[in-house]
Amino acid sequence: MFLFEIIMNLLLIFKIHLSATLYMVGVICLIQIINYPLFALVGKKDFPIYHAKHIRMTSFVIAIPMLVEIISLGLLLYLDTFYRNNSLFIISALFLVINWSVTFLISVPLHDILALGFDQKAWQKLVSTNWIRTISWIARAILLLEIQNQF
């Protein structure tokens, strides 16, 4: 009975992990395809206020699922050799490292520049480098869905 409970908890953690990733696919696609392109249309005068509201509102929507993703990933790797030995899961974990790295090493500094006012070069770099996160999250989702099919 105890082993069954552990397995069920691991499946629940995996489903939470997958759900957070699928949620982030939707969020990142919305940001990449709609939000970031609209930055260029706001106007220089209103941009700092618009950008500040964008950051404040999207941070809440993004931070919690990103934390759920990284915590559940750590739990799965720590608690079960299936995930440590599953090449698809390891690759999906590497994509998550890419997402976090691009977020904090590229996107956040670019948003810091944009917080001072619209900057064409920073905006273009933000849009182009965000494709890395968009593709990475989509790839993670595909890999995790494939792992789900292995159960």
**Whether 148 contacts 89, CB under 8 Å:** no
> How many domains would you assign to the chain?
1
Domain that holds residue 108: 2-149
The owner of tokens 């976090």 is: 100
Closest by CA position to 98, among listed 55, 54, 143, 59? 143
pLDDT category of residue 151 using cuts at 50, 70 and 90: confident
User: So what's the pLDDT on residue 2?
Assistant: 57
- The share of the chain scoring above pLDDT 90, in percent, equals 88
Rounded to whole angstroms, the Cα distance separating 94 from 92 reads 5
* Residues in contact with 123: Cβ distance below 8 Å, sequence separation at least 6, in sequence order: 36, 39, 40, 110, 114
HSE, CB side, 13 Å, CA atoms: give it for residue 27.
18
Two structure tokens written together for 75: 């739990």
- The share of the chain scoring above pLDDT 70, in percent, equals 95
User: So what's the pLDDT on residue 8?
Assistant: 67
Taking the whole predicted model, whether its pTM rises above 0.75 is answered as: yes
